[in-house]
């Protein structure tokens, strides 16, 4: 289901990262701090939190209170960071993930925001804004969640590629929508718990891709998981590259053909237009990475795509 070129790159990157273990503690700690700020900012922003990335960083790293922002938004930042710590703790355990684990993640997400609902399955009907999918009735939630955690440890799930399993698991949880509030944040924390247990770094779904993310979830509601799986796979590829760049010793500058360049520059002297390269990058067919809103690639990546197409 993962696009074959994308899958080949991911598996190669994972092998390279695994070969470097144990990873340098200082480099990993620095990157982890950076990614956790981005993860917290983006996951909250997807749900409507108006704090900026810089404001999120100031709250987490310096305890600053941002003027003009609500107490709830501040709690959402601190809570999410504490939930990440709990997810990292769970990732180190060999025990199967349980409903109690998921409820505790949710409890941390909603602490001091809605203590009455935090960590408790909903007892009312809910609708997902902007989605056609109707979550199950409240009395179905507990048995559906029991089935879900059984699925996570079952043969069907374990036979999947870890990224596919994480994507499917994320959708199943979100479709059940077991809580009154905080399902999105909890679902993305659960997504990364599944990735962590398979040895992958966190997948940070960006606010800028919110529409694409919701569309992929909507397609999964109809049984088409390809868009969601490949979206999460592309995010995983970016995280794997970030970790490798952080822990590999750069004793020499990359060659001209291996330097990251904009798609506009890459298109010069190439048979592919900037628009076509953008499409390839967005669909995972071209080795590329995103910085802010801009995609970057290399001349060697374009050569790899060309050679793969000719095979």
Catalytic residues: 177
Helix (H) or strand (E) holding 291: strand 288-291
Task: Report the largest interatomic distance among the alpha carbons of the chain, rounded to a whole angstrom.
Answer: 61
Question: Which residues sit opposite 276 in a β-bridge?
Answer: none
List of residues 6+ apart from 20 with CB closer than 8 A: 244, 247, 248
Contacts of 107 (CB under 8 A, 6+ apart): 118, 119
Residues making up the chain, counted from first to last:
311
Residue 256: name the closest of 248, 247, 265, 264 by CA: 265
Distances in Å between the Cα of 22 and the Cα atoms of 73, 75, 84, 224 are 37, 34, 21, 38
How would you list the strands of the sheet with 261-262, edge to edge?
A: 261-262, 294-297, 288-291
Q: Which of 209, 200, 199 is nearest to 231 (CA)?
A: 209
Distance CA 275, CA 273 (A): 5
Cβ atoms of residues 65 and 74 within 8 Å: yes
């Amino acid at each position: 289901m993962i696009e074959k070129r994308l899958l080949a790159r991911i598996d190669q990157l994972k092998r390279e990262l695994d070969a470097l273990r144990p990873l340098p503690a200082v480099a990993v700690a620095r990157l982890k701090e950076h990614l956790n700020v981005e993860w917290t900012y983006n996951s909250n922003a997807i749900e409507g939190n108006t704090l900026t990335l810089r404001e999120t960083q100031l709250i987490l790293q310096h305890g600053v209170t941002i003027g003009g922002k609500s107490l709830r938004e501040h709690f959402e930042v601190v809570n999410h960071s504490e939930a990440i710590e709990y997810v990292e703790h769970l990732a180190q355990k060999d025990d199967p993930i349980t409903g109690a684990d998921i409820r505790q993640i949710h409890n941390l997400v909603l602490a001091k925001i809605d203590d009455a609902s935090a960590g408790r399955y909903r007892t009312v009907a809910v609708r997902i804004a902007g989605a056609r999918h109707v979550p199950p009735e409240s009395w179905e939630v507990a048995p559906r969640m029991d089935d879900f955690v059984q699925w996570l440890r079952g043969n069907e799930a374990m036979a999947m590629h870890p990224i596919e399993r994480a994507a499917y698991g994320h959708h199943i949880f979100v479709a059940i929508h077991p809580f009154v509030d905080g399902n999105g944040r909890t679902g993305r924390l659960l997504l990364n718990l599944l990735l962590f247990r398979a040895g992958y770094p966190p997948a940070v779904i960006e606010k800028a891709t919110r529409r694409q993310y919701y569309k992929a979830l909507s397609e999964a509601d109809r049984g088409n998981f390809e868009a969601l799986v490949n979206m999460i796979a592309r995010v995983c590829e970016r995280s794997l590259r970030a970790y490798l760049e952080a822990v590999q010793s750069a004793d020499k500058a990359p060659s001209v053909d291996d330097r990251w360049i904009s798609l506009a520059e890459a298109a010069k002297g190439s048979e592919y237009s900037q628009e076509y390269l953008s499409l390839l990058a967005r669909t995972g067919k071209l080795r590329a990475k995103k910085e802010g809103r801009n995609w970057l690639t290399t001349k060697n990546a374009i050569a790899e795509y060309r050679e793969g197409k000719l095979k």
